[in-house]
Structure 1
């Protein structure tokens, strides 16, 4: 029989954690610029024999206030002491002092640690360093300004492959028997290899003759992206206005708004029908990347909001302009080009993981859920 695993809490400096040679499953880490509280699942001899140890303590109800200029959030299915050591070494090698750490989530399927960093950074350079380190850790590592760790007042969302787990135009094409042909154009456009406006017109021309009667059937079968309902519901409960800004179609965006998700505003492309079938033409103005950004900026102005209260969420190349507009631009399961060009990116979790970037922990998110989400 194997040795029994027990949970223990160790009190020690971060430098001692970074120098540890042992490994183990991390339960939590709390640090306030003094001694760290490190919760580990210990199997056999404890890794810090000379450190003060105690029974695990309950997690704080709320994370500490953010006072540092930068935050780096680690999102992983399960964090090990070895991964934590690698990350602390990464911070030290870049000269990024850690002034605080909070555990925002700890469960069997996700661990989220937020590190406050007191350093002067070039954001683009630091972001790409974090992306490279994330690949080594096999996790997500998200850099953001410290003052962006708050609930936004306005959030703009792409629809296809962001709020729903499908590209609607590809679903229409499958019914007409040209699914592979249209899907290839869509993929090239989302990767930034084709101009969106040109690709959109080309795909619509191929869909000429699609019957209007099939739209309701497709709308009812569109799968939501994992975490979409939880995130949109939480934002509604927190008073944040939300908008769909889609290169897809108003018919499906309004269906989501009416039947599936709490969304305040919808901006998307209109379908043109004649005698019950798609004409193959497009109705201007096309909602492309530039228009998404302009619409989001106009909504902020109409609501009297500064761009520091605005965020955007998307996955494709046509989302990049709006992702770079406000306080946060979160690419969810992004294409490679978007992962590199978006300010923030989350690849390993659903949409609800964005809540951690607003400074919320699982206890706070759970209260929102209990309140009726």
Structure 2
């Protein structure tokens, strides 16, 4: 099995190059096409693939460490790969053997998968406005998706669709075709470079064999999606620690009402750095704990009964608990950075505000207040958390089995 040291050695040069260009991309709003492609060429998309399938055979813990490293360099990049990571995980346990083998080969050959599940507007909760029609060996997808993180950079998109009979499916749509329009219209104040915009499918063509029932999706997927965001938070916290430490160490101007003639010796400033360091260490440790719980859930697949159920519950609760903590502490740490520095820190040239904007945006994806309530319900009443959830308007139809990983 590949070790974490070997994995880090493999990706460190790419991640270092990505880090060197982060500020320029942020200032100029330049999408990281080159960074995504460099990661793909280095095999990032195959990290979780078994070695015998042409991958690197990494554990969830090893993958998470790489995601934290990558997020510290550029918080946009791990989120871009979020849909790909979940798609690969589904391949490893899907009951559709031919689908698995076909897509394992494509992933091993370097294919990058994006995400296209979410819809905005008046779509009813539990329903999908994006439709699929299968005829013979071919299928067509028509509809509009938003929050399509990663698909702007991808070869295919893992798309949640609905058939005429109301059943829901996953359709893996080739994105390089005239019937697909991708727009970089994501206008969030953070995670600006994730390509989280709109895809319009106008009878987009794909092979019918690339449409599979959604009900067969792997059970711990929500925890996997959340793990990526927790790793992003951990990486942001690490970057805040690094930037704050470097800025304080280099600072020569001091205030007359401070506590020392050198900022690096001011006990109040050192306290701020200590608090930031504690948050960074906590976030990374929590990401590791979630990875371990998901690893157990992956091992329990197929065991059935209490063993599998308990592992799924543990993975969901671990990710929820970590989400509650990181969603509050990491944005706070990104704000505390400015308490350690002077007014020069808010100049746009430093782009230090990106840390808070990115952390706050990541924290807004899946409302942590609902997750906290689910944790409390489990602790007090033994109520299992929901493994999948949906968002939309309330109408005549209600089906909680259609999740939206926004």
The TM-score range, normalised by the shorter chain, is under 0.3
Give the alignment's TM-score, normalised by structure 1.
Answer: 0.24
Structure 1 or 2, whichever has the larger Rg, is 1
More strand by percentage:
1
